[in-house]
Amino acid sequence: MARFRPIGVGALLLVVVLSLGCGGPTGAGGRGALASSDAGTPPELQRINTLLADLAARLKPGLVHVAVRRTAGGETRREEEDEPRRATGSGFVIDGSGLIVTNAHVVESAEKVQVRLSDGRRYTGSLVGRDNRVDLALIRIDGATNLTVLPLGDSNRLRVGEFVLALGHPFGLEQSVSFGIVSRKGAPLTIAAPGFDFIQTDAAINPGNSGGPLVNMAGEVVGVNSMAARTISIGFAIPSNLVKQLVPQLAAKGRVEWGWLGVSIAEITEDDVERLKLREARGVLVRDVMPGEPAERGGMRANDVIVEFDGTALEGPRDLQRVVSTTPVGKKVRVTLLRDGRETEVEVTVGLYEEREARRLERPRQPPRPDAPTPPKE
């Protein structure tokens, strides 16, 4: 199994600092170093060029191209489609046995999956598992040797402003690399994602990049390219720490078992403080409870305010989404909530999250404020 030695982040940052000095005062005649025809490339900038080019060269062997033929009548999504029944995307090797990470939407309704390695070798891929909620999938190729494994880094340590590379096969172009920074860590574009902070970057993520790696300057995969905003130049990537958590479930079960309560939730506003007899705007407001779901069976009601779930204090809805989704299905947990200003506890058995887009709440509810966002469900 081939691996590569990561490039030191400190060395790259040092040359970036040094390069800032290249824009100093110009000499006689107003011509700077970069304008001189015989000066060549300044050594500091050449160092940056070399570091980035070497990093890209070491990463590319672990990048793969994924081509999919869809089943007749299968749903097609996004721009990765060359023809109505065909789609392309990217992926990368995470295990020398032939395991490859990509996006769930790339292999959706797949009748046949073909994986092409960077050296041109082609293999038929088999779907090991997929999860639509965070758009992650795992495929396998058999018989491949000398695979380059791209290591997963610690996305929790990733800071806004850090340099990253996005690798993939956009628009059918092979082995593409784009350079940018981490712009933000926060909510992704898809409302279904369970409260995890996705990585936002200005490194170009175009159709076909889906499933490719987002890599830091140490040569570690910190995210899986997943989606891009169509009107502006930003993209989102699934954080590597979430990938580490989900891949074992996908490999063992073919799916991810997310926890589920069955409530519609919202932020606590200042208007809610007086109405619900609260001391402060903290916790998670239960707007509705779905009939027959775990929350109702455990005794939760609309207008309850959840302040603690299984020992974890909650500040807002994303905290609840994150802790519920990662709680084992079937586990009984204590939920601390405020009801009419008084603290109480209920016991809830966490259920299994399933696709429920077609379901509707059966109980009447007050219409939301005109400016209120659509409440998330957990």
What does the H/E/C string look like for 255-318? CCCCEECCEEEEECCHHHHHHCCCCCCCCEEEEEECCCCHHHHCCCCCCCEEEEECCEECCCHH
Structure tokens at 35: 């304008």
Residue pair 276/249 in contact (Cβ under 8 Å)? The answer is no
Residue pair 221/92 in contact (Cβ under 8 Å)? The answer is yes
| 228: β partners | 235
Secondary element (H or E) of residue 344: strand 342-349
CA–CA distance from 360 to each of 79, 165, 192, 258, 318 (Å)? 30, 42, 16, 20, 22
Q: Give me the residue label for tokens 């898809």.
A: 190
Is 178 considered catalytic here? Answer: no
Residue pair 222/228 in contact (Cβ under 8 Å)? The answer is no
Is 210 considered catalytic here? Answer: yes
Catalytic residue among 90, 131, 135, 178: 135
Residue pair 213/223 in contact (Cβ under 8 Å)? The answer is yes
**Cα 9 to Cα 340: distance, rounded to the nearest angstrom:** 53
Is 19 considered catalytic here? Answer: no
Catalytic residue among 90, 105, 178, 240: 105
Q: Is 247 helix (H, G, I), strand (E, B) or coil?
A: helix
Catalytic residue among 90, 178, 183, 210: 210
Q: Please identify every residue annotated as catalytic.
A: 105, 135, 210
